[in-house]
Amino acid sequence: MKITKPLAVRPYLTVALVVSSFQFNSQLYAASPNVNQVSHDPDELNNPELSLQNEKVADKVLAVILSHSLTRDIDAESVNELQSSESLQGCSELRQKLLQIIQKSQPLTFTLVGFPFKSGNKETKVIGDLPDLAERLALEKLHKFMEEIGQVYAYGAKIIIYTDGLAFFDQLDVPLEKVTGYETALKQLAADLPLISIMTCQDLFPDLSPEVIHANIKSHPMSFKELSSEAKDVLSKRLLMEFDFPKGRVFLKERSFDQITTELDRRSQQINQIYKSKFPSAIPLSVHYKKDIGEKVGISLSEGHVTPWHGVAVLKKGGSFIIIPKKDVPTSAQISSKRINGINCYYYIY
């Protein structure tokens, strides 16, 4: 595919942000330019051809993003709530964000909060505690997404994955050491994918221990937006599936179920706010369906829309892979592995 390169010649500014301590104050949310503001670039005003070419590039990039976007609520589907595809909103707002960056001849930066840790449910969901071929396939899919943008936009794109396991591991009965072990292995697994960066809370705040970071996330001030009753019902059903094994059922008996759902939602909003402050002009992605893509774009990490930390990779007879919960793997399937970047990536073959 021919690469369309914008004619803009304006230099761009690279800002390095160094954080030496975990400070939750107003400095964390310093004012940033409004990416929705209409550009008045004098180069474009004097060069209609430049303006038209940038507009065309923005349209092409938007088309690539839409091809990876979720068009229905996969969380609701996972608990057998029937969903139909819906028209996404916010396309013009997202296009304007893209155009603002394209006009400056800058690479596009996307952010994705996720990849927390492997589910603790090894009976019906996952194989082990460390990233395996399911994570690798998801990373490769994201990398291909960025490559596709690079085919239509000369300055390319990159994605920063912010791991969020430190925010809520205690609410899902996952030991802290399994969170940090997962993060370390995930970085190693993605080492040969140049368009992907893995960033953990400890990368942002290297002078603090995981325990202190976790405590600071919990106390981070925020304007809490409560889940709708429908969304809370879906989350509750997903949690029942998550804890559907002996140890999990015991854990649920010892905790308030309603408190778990509320705290998970709160922690998710807190960690998202913290990470968003680091790259306020980046384009945020989500592993959950988002109707308004002008605010955040929901994307799929696998063919079956199962996130890798909730499933296993399966090599089908036709030679293609799919990520599914372990309970759905045929009993005749055999476990295998391949070593990638020093990580044993386990998967099933049938």
Is residue 107 within 8 Å of 154, Cβ to Cβ? no
What pLDDT is recorded for position 77?
Answer: 76
pLDDT tens digits, one per residue of 318-332 = 889 999 999 999 999
Higher pLDDT, 62 or 28: 62
Question: Measured between alpha carbons, how far is 23 from 278 in angstroms, rounded to an integer?
Answer: 13
Other Cβ atoms closer than 10 A to 125: 23
Residue 176 clears pLDDT 80, i.e. is over it: yes
Owner of token pair 């073959």: 349
pLDDT value at position 175? 96
The runs of H, that is alpha helices, within the chain are 42-45, 48-68, 74-78, 91-102, 133-152, 165-168, 176-189, 201-204, 210-218, 229-242, 246-253, 257-276
Mean pLDDT of 248-267: 88
What does the alpha-carbon distance between residue 17 and residue 29 come to, in Å, rounded to a whole number?
13
When pLDDT is averaged across residues 134-142 and rounded to a whole number, the result is: 98
Residue 44's pLDDT band, with cuts at 50, 70 and 90, is low
Q: Which amino acid belongs to residue 225?
A: K
Q: pLDDT band at residue 30, thresholds of 50, 70 and 90?
A: very low
Please report how the helices 257-276 and 210-218 are oriented relative to each other, as an axis angle in degrees rounded to 10.
100
How many whole angstroms separate alpha carbon 8 and alpha carbon 52? 11
296 pLDDT higher than 90: yes
Least confidently predicted of 11-20, 34-43, 104-113, 164-173: 11-20
The DSSP result for 235-267, as a single string, is HHHHHHHHT-SHHHHHHHHTS-HHHHHHHHHHH
What pLDDT score does 9 carry? Answer: 34
Q: What percent of the chain has pLDDT over 70?
A: 84
Of the listed ranges 5-14, 170-179, 196-205, 339-348, the one predicted with least confidence: 5-14
Average pLDDT score, the chain: 85
What would the mean pLDDT of 38-54 be, rounded to a whole number?
68
Query: Which of 4-13, 47-56, 136-145, 287-296 is least confident?
Result: 4-13
pLDDT over threshold 90, residue 313: yes
Q: How far is CA 20 from the centre of its chain?
A: 25
pLDDT score, position 168:
92
* Token representation of residue 254: 């010892």
Tell me the three-class secondary structure of 87-118, residue by residue.
CCECHHHHHHHHHHHHCCCCCEEEEEEECCCC
Report the pLDDT averaged over residues 236-243: 87
Does pLDDT of 218 surpass 50?
A: yes
Q: Say if pTM beats, i.e. exceeds, 0.85.
A: no
In the chain, what percentage of residues exceed pLDDT 90?
62
What secondary structure does DSSP assign to 116-143, as a single string?
----S-TTTT-S-SS--HHHHHHHHHHH
